[in-house]
Structure 1
Amino acid sequence: MDEPIREPSGGPWPRRPYWVVGLALLGLVMVMLAIAFVADRQLRPRLSVDPAPTPSLAAAATSPAAAGTSNPANGSSSPLSLEQEIEEAYLRYWDVYSEALLNLDTSRIPEVAADDELRRIEEEVGGLRNRNEAARINVTHDYEILDITSTGGTVYDEALNQSYTVDPVTKTSPEGTNRSEILRDLYFFEKRDHMWKIVKSYRVED
């Protein structure tokens, strides 16, 4: 027959009141909660900010101050990132290109385009001039900047095109302005003489 379990030599086991054990556990829980609270305050970000969407041409063109971050203390601007440089060059390209088609004047196109793109725009303006027409550009952009390096970059744009031809003198259109279409184009940039220029563009067909 098994013998009953005996207490260890030296006397009976000490027995602590339950309330003492409960207080000890409560104190331990409070200490752990305090440590977790401090760690959370130290490690979590102060703000949660979603990335801003890529701006449209209209929004960016009316905000020239966004090209650099001004320092009000000394009036200087922080350097642009490569993506910001290409975006600024792309929007400027559209300003100069629109002006060229409206005024039938390609004198400023070399500021924003070179090689195949320069020749394409010169031919386009020449064709308008031969037809005794000009063009008013009305485009809403939805673009993305791709494949950025220190010397090149690509922009893909799905643009809502509502451009129309106008009289080269009065700049008005007798045909109205109801035509619209979605154009999908790729624009290839290269850095020439420290300036970003579009050297070619392709229409992406469905």
Structure 2
Amino acid sequence: MAKIAVRDGRILWRYDYGRGQSQGQPALADGKLVFGAWNGHLHCLDAATGKLGWKWTNGSKSLFLSPGNIVPRIAGGRVFIDAPDRAVTCLDLASGSVVWRCTDYKAREASGMSADGKRFYVKTMDGELLAIDTAPDAFRRLWITPAGFGYDYTACPVTVSGGIAYLADRSGNVAAVREDGTPLWCVKCCNSAANFITEAPDGSLWATFAEGKIFRIPPHAPAGHKKKIP
């Protein structure tokens, strides 16, 4: 992991976390950089110096359950993750100590956060979107709703835009769920796993897929562009 000056390409600091790829995007908040790796650990660095603040492990002996392909979400001084151990975990950002862990849902890698930081979204392996309250000191489910595509394990992050959460699966489907838990639509774009759903300045969303295709979801798309979830 390295911090590089954009202007001239100088390496400002470098942190060697050992073996294992860091596949997911890191998170930056309150002067701290948090990222996971396929070495069993979630790491928290001082963003200014690159010095390790803490690292956390779920205790599993299998590196396949590492947080190597997750995007940590930070809100209210806490870090929220859902690694392949199928648990949702909340950690204290300052110390790395566990605030709570929940294993009641098949959570795995795909997550998002509301714009106000009050709701942590998790896509379950049963094809549901789970909304979690980020404020309490214990796990609190706000709602859970089917997204419309059933069993799935794709790590495509959940993107939130304009009060709607967008998620995708391994078979080329993209779904939209309003932030009150109301399912809006699910549409099939292609036949492969989604990589990312990225918001553009005009409010539209761009979804990329493993087969090399890119799809644009226009803002306030008319009904003809959507397929309602049954």
Q: Which has the higher strand share?
A: 2
Return the structure number with greater relative CO, CA threshold 8 A, min gap 6: 1
Does TM-score exceed 0.5, indicating one fold?
Answer: no
TM-score by length of 1: 0.25
Q: Which has the higher helix share?
A: 1
Q: Which has the larger radius of gyration?
A: 1
